[in-house]
Structure 1
Amino acid sequence: MADTINYQLAHFVASYGAVSQIPPSTCPEVSFVGRSNVGKSSIMNKLFGRKGLVKVSSTPGKTANINFFEADGVHFIDLPGYGFARRSKAERERWARLIGDFFESERSFNLVVSLVDIRHDPSALDHQMIEYLQEGGFTFVVALTKADKLSRGKRAQQAAAIKRQLNVPAEDIIVTSAEDGTGIADLKGVIVERCL
């Protein structure tokens, strides 16, 4: 296998409403998880170099299923965004179960990309997610999104603060922007390292 992934080959595979529907892992997998309005779809589209492959929603919390994409023999998994208040309690609980069931299933978790908005302190749910990944022994990186909204100095300051708050090593934090492409090459590097 080459030591790069051809993202031009990226395509949608399938959408699943329950973990029991998902076929077993047959290739390396990269899972994306984060709050509903963190910019998950935008970062994935930037990674794939495709504008609308992963549906970007004007209503946060729209992804209610687990969506699989594939590029060059690697699966990219878009998990439902967590913590969006405008959905019913039952729907929020279904998502929490879906994410929980997914991480508890037997899969090749080569890398989990946990997305956190760089402009704000991590939410209680962000903390829970990171603790869950740490306790479960998952290999993960924290991608800080929307970096283009801050000055360079402020980015560094926020990244350092979030690193401390989440108790994550500096090398596991990537400052990213779907707008100007900041950090996308670094993210691709980690994906290759973990998947190939």
Structure 2
Amino acid sequence: MEEKDKEEKVTGENLEPEDKNLEQEDKEEVVGPQEEQQIDEAKNWEEEYNKLLDEHNRLKNQYLRLYADFDNYRKRTQREKEELLKYEGMEFLKKLLPVLDNFERALKEKDTDPQKVIEGVELTHRQLLEILNQHEVKAIEAQGQPFNPELHEALMVEVREDLEENTVIEELVKGYFYKDKVLRPALVKVSKKQ
């Protein structure tokens, strides 16, 4: 019996390597051409995914930089706009200062020579009109014109048979345009038929 046991052992030992060979063959069969193709495709997909992820991260960083640049630009232009609005009248006011100087000179002469005061006021008036003209401020023509509520404000009405109704008889206070807008309407006296 011992020999039989030995034979069985030997036979059993011999079977183990055969089983191992069978397992390896099974493994080789499992990884066939179709499976290799799937593995290659999976590797390709993984590589493609990594490339896309890198591209995504690059674009995201680029977007964040552009967003920050734009935000800085927006803040800078807002500050510049606020500063511009804050000091927008500065140049105009600089041009008015000589007018003020001329008024002061004329007032100094009031006790010595009234004619010099009149000349100074006339000069100052011309200077002021010139500055207003440079800034596109123009007088509204009212005298003798038909009353226009967009350009004129009627303060008085006078019965006049010799004029058409609603004709401006007298300009009490001049009105002005600034470019194409009414800066101030003219205050006028208007005719009325009885």
TM-score, scaled relative to structure 1: 0.18
More helix by share: 2
Q: Which fold has the larger relative contact order, with Cα–Cα distance below 8 Å and residues 6 or more apart in sequence?
A: 1
